């Protein structure tokens, strides 16, 4: 058995806090017994939860703090009030100090990203971080990034996203050379802004061994599973994610409405309730919980703030897998191939192309 995976949890994060975080971690621990936890937050609340879960208690260390970042705190407020003291900061700081391999928080995204960036700093060659998530598609899961960390960006930024996203797909899906597509408003070469067309040229010209660039993918290509990794700057990536979530909710509401409309449809529902359960499982947003912050010197996973223990467990699972299958090593290998960074050699290719 290799070393245990050490996970730092912001026990105060999310709409509920410890009573979701601890039971969620317990579920994940059952799936991955080679885990141990550092729990940051109010000791009384945390220990009340641990009392009900002795197996979890046995692999956890509690670090008390009174300070918690609120869900509505602006990033600047959170940094001012919660730096060095809040449960969120301390969880990230455990990664910085090498006491934990990954931090997981259901706290507010802006604050978490600000603290992670401030404390962990970006990787050499990476200017701006990204958030990557798993998107269920018609042919399995895809990694989609950036889901909203960074607005805009040039061809190099998109190239960095492609490299980091493909490393994550190698970790999560066990693929040797994941396919990568650039999100665009058409698949023809002339479509999209200059930075996207440049990024496409670069990815094609460099032909990296760690990823297979397949060209542009439109918004409806994500759900089709057109590529293992879909790359976009953070504004459009976030809009795509939220628009898809909104449509899924809309569809679910219509379906509920339709099935309860008449006596016949209610009878039909009873017969088919196994099918509806399978459908609910397939569409369950909790299974895609866990946004991974990429581009930092350390791994931080963001859980939805409103999720339950089952959902939080999926975010902890994501953190576990990123560590167990060496996300950071895989990213750095691609960035630093042959002793100079891939992105620097991308500049040379770009000059040669122009």
**Least distance in Å: CB of 13 to a second copy?**
18
**Least distance in Å: CB of 225 to a second copy?**
9
Pick from 6, 89, 15: which is nearest to 303 by CA?
15
CB neighbourhood size of 235 (10 A): 14
Cβ-based burial of 182 (10 A; exposed 0-12, middle 13-18, buried ≥19): buried
How far apart, in Å, do the first and last CA atoms of the chain sit? 51
**Least distance in Å: CB of 28 to a second copy?**
26
> Which range in 119-127, 148-156, 160-168, 171-179 contacts a second copy by CB under 8 A?
148-156
Q: Which is nearer to a second copy, 235 or 325 (CB)?
A: 235
Q: Which of 45, 63, 71, 239 binds a second copy (CB under 8 A)?
A: 239
Note whether 80 binds a second copy by CB under 8 A: no
Q: Which of 60, 86, 87, 232 binds a second copy (CB under 8 A)?
A: 232
Spatial contact of 107 and 293, defined as CB atoms under 8 Å apart: no
Q: Which residues pair with 63 in a beta bridge?
A: 40
> How is residue 338 annotated by DSSP?
G
295 sits in the region (left: phi over 0; alpha: psi -120 to 50; else beta) called left
- Kindly identify the residues of this chain, within the stretch 13-72, that bind a second copy according to CB under 8 A: none
- Kindly identify the residues of this chain, within the stretch 243-282, that bind a second copy according to CB under 8 A: 243-251, 253-255, 258-259, 261-262, 264-265, 267-276, 278-279, 282
Per-residue contact track with a second copy, 169 to 198, x per CB under 8 A?
--------------x-x--x-x-xx-----
Q: Which of 235, 326, 332, 336 binds a second copy (CB under 8 A)?
A: 235
Q: Which residues pair with 231 in a beta bridge?
A: 145, 182
For residue 146, whether the previous peptide bond is cis, meaning omega lies within 30 degrees of 0, is yes
Number of residues that bind a second copy (CB under 8 A): 60
Angstrom distance (rounded) from CA 344 to CA 340: 7
**Least distance in Å: CB of 259 to a second copy?**
6
Q: Which of 132, 222, 296, 309 binds a second copy (CB under 8 A)?
A: 222
Q: Which is nearer to a second copy, 166 or 236 (CB)?
A: 236
Per-residue contact track with a second copy, 306 to 335, x per CB under 8 A?
------------------------------
Pick from 211, 238, 243: which is nearest to 227 by CA?
211
Note whether 124 binds a second copy by CB under 8 A: no
Note whether 138 binds a second copy by CB under 8 A: yes
Cβ contacts of 132 within 8 Å, gap of 6 or more:
143, 144, 145, 146, 147, 164, 165, 168, 291, 292, 294
Cα 114-229-33 angle, rounded to 5 deg: 70
Tokens (6 digits) for 28: 């994940």
Q: Which residues bind a second copy (CB under 8 A)?
A: 74, 137-138, 148, 151-152, 183, 185, 188, 190, 192-193, 218-224, 232, 234-236, 238-251, 253-255, 258-259, 261-262, 264-265, 267-276, 278-279, 282-283
């Amino acid at each position: 058995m290799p070393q245990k995976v050490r996970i730092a949890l912001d026990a105060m994060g999310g709409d509920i806090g410890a009573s979701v975080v601890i039971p969620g971690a317990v579920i994940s621990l059952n799936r991955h017994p080679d885990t141990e936890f550092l729990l940051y937050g109010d000791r009384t609340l945390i220990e009340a939860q641990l009392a009900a879960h002795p197996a979890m208690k046995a692999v956890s260390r509690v670090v008390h703090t009174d300070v918690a970042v609120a869900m509505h705190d602006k990033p600047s407020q959170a940094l001012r009030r919660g730096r060095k003291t809040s449960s969120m900061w301390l969880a990230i700081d455990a990664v910085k100090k090498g006491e934990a391999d990954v931090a997981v928080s259901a706290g507010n995204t802006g604050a978490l990203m600000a603290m992670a960036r401030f404390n962990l700093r970006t990787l050499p060659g990476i200017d701006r971080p990204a958030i990557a998530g798993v998107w269920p598609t018609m042919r399995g899961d895809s990694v989609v990034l950036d889901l909203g960390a960074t607005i805009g960006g040039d061809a190099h930024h998109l190239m960095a996203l492609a490299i980091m996203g493909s490393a994550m797909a190698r970790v999560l899906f066990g693929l040797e050379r994941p396919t990568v597509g650039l999100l665009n408003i058409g698949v023809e070469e002339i479509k999209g802004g200059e930075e996207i067309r440049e990024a496409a040229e670069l990815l094609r010209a460099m032909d990296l061994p760690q990823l297979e660039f397949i060209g542009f993918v439109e918004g409806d290509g994500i759900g089709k599973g057109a590529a293992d990794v879909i790359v976009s700057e953070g504004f459009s990536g976030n809009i795509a994610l939220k628009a898809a979530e909104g449509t899924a909710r809309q569809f679910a509401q219509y379906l509920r409405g339709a099935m309860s409309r008449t006596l016949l449809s209610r009878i039909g529902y009873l017969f088919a309730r196994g099918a509806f359960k399978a459908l609910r499982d397939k569409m369950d947003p909790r299974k895609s919980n866990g946004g991974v912050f990429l581009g930092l010197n350390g791994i931080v996973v963001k859980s939805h703030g409103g999720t339950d223990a089952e959902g939080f467990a999926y975010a902890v699972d994501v953190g576990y897998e990123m560590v167990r299958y060496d996300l950071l090593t895989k990213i750095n290998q691609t960035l630093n191939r042959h002793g100079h960074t891939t992105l620097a050699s991308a500049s040379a290719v770009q000059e040669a192309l122009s």
